[in-house]
A and B are shown apart, each in its own frame.
Chain A
Amino acid sequence: MTTTMTAPAIVPNFDTSDSDRKLAIICSKGNLDMAYPGLILGNAALGEGIETHLFFTFWGLDMISKTRMNNLQFSPMGNTAMHVPGGDMHIPQAVMPAMTGMATKMLKKQIADLGVPEVPDFLEQIVAAGGHLWACRMSADMNKYALSDLRDDVEGIISATDFIEMTEGAQLLFI
């Protein structure tokens, strides 16, 4: 292609005025599949320079528990959208022995094949990117967890009120 005229320089606007945008993500589930949406969105937000806070509550606390975070499970039971990967055939909604273990293994492999890290590694990346991790006070009390039972990069065990105060003006995601 020959060109006789050139346009003026076009420079992407990377430091936009919305740099005070804030995102708060409430992670309330401890199933392997439901751990990911919050992590992927949080990570994406951090990559856009958005201040991001993750609040782990109820079953979501498993994602940051030292003894449980490496062993999140996935069960196809009760999920009628489950189908064979790449196909439309539904998986029977009946409880079968060893199903959870098998399904967990399969899901972990699918996620790894996409180059997506496991949950603990993913949280480490989120913290490295400047993300903030918070544990829910009531959930920690119910589980009899102290801060030492949680990942070292969890910044604190805080009440729901603390979290709401801290995330004033933030966009909020409940997962």
Chain B
Amino acid sequence: MPVIEITGKPIHVNEEGFLTEYSEWDEAIAKVLADQIGVEMTDEHWQIIKFLREDFKTEGETATSRRVQTVGGVPVKTQFTLFPKKPAKKMAYIAGLPKPKGCV
């Protein structure tokens, strides 16, 4: 797996660029990741990213859009506005988590 440098730190990523080590992530890195895919982070964005990080800690997998709505409290429509086109993947990428595995 490649190791890239973000904010001066070596970061492990997979071949697509998703972080592979939960503990290597921090908010400064998230900001860089968001910039790279054209997402400007606001409080609303952070709310979702923080939920994903916390949820992953307990569930061991990345929340789907459905779960971000039902458990995280952010409607699917809002997710599409904040992270256009591919919200589930973009949210996971910025949160330094794997792509969600769930179908729904």
Tell whether A14 is near chain B: CB-to-CB under 8 Å: yes
Q: How far is the CB of A113 from chain B (nearest CB, A)?
A: 12
Tell whether B87 is near chain A: CB-to-CB under 8 Å: yes
Q: How many A residues have CB within 8 A of the partner chain? A: 28
Closest residue of chain B to A7, judged by CB? B2
Contact of A115 among B12, B70, B84, B90 (CB under 8 A): B70
Tell whether A49 is near chain B: CB-to-CB under 8 Å: yes
Given A3-B10, A6-B4, A117-B104, residue A11 in contact with residue B36 (CB < 8 A): yes
Chain B residues within an 8 Å CB radius of A6: 3-5, 10
Given A40-B104, A128-B77, A130-B80, residue A14 in contact with residue B90 (CB < 8 A): yes
Given A40-B104, A125-B66, residue A10 in contact with residue B4 (CB < 8 A): yes
Alpha-carbon gap, A15 to B93, bound state (A):
14
Alpha-carbon gap, A11 to B17, bound state (A):
5
B residues in contact (CB < 8 Å) with A: 2-6, 10, 12-13, 15-18, 36-38, 64-67, 69-70, 75-77, 80, 84-90, 93, 102-104
Chain B residues within an 8 Å CB radius of A10: 2, 4, 13, 15-17
B contact patch SS: mixed
Q: Are B77's CB and A129's CB within 8 A?
A: yes
Q: How far is the CB of A125 from chain B (nearest CB, A)?
A: 5
Contact of A43 among B12, B17, B75, B104 (CB under 8 A): B104
Chain B residues within an 8 Å CB radius of A5: 3
Alpha-carbon gap, A136 to B76, bound state (A):
27
Alpha-carbon gap, A11 to B16, bound state (A):
7
Alpha-carbon gap, A114 to B70, bound state (A):
13
Chain B residues within an 8 Å CB radius of A48: 85-86
A contact patch SS: loop
Chain B residues within an 8 Å CB radius of A3: 3, 10
Nearest 10 CB-CB pairings of A with B: A49-B85, A10-B17, A128-B77, A7-B2, A6-B5, A128-B76, A11-B36, A12-B16, A3-B10, A3-B3
Q: C-beta contact mask, A19-45 vs B, less than 8 Å → 1, else 0?
A: 100000000000000000000100110
Q: How far is the CB of B79 from chain A (nearest CB, A)?
A: 8
Alpha-carbon gap, A10 to B89, bound state (A):
15
Q: Are A9's CB and B4's CB within 8 A?
A: yes
Q: How far is the CB of B89 from chain A (nearest CB, A)?
A: 6
Given A9-B36, A11-B36, A47-B87, residue A40 in contact with residue B66 (CB < 8 A): no
Chain B residues within an 8 Å CB radius of A7: 2-4
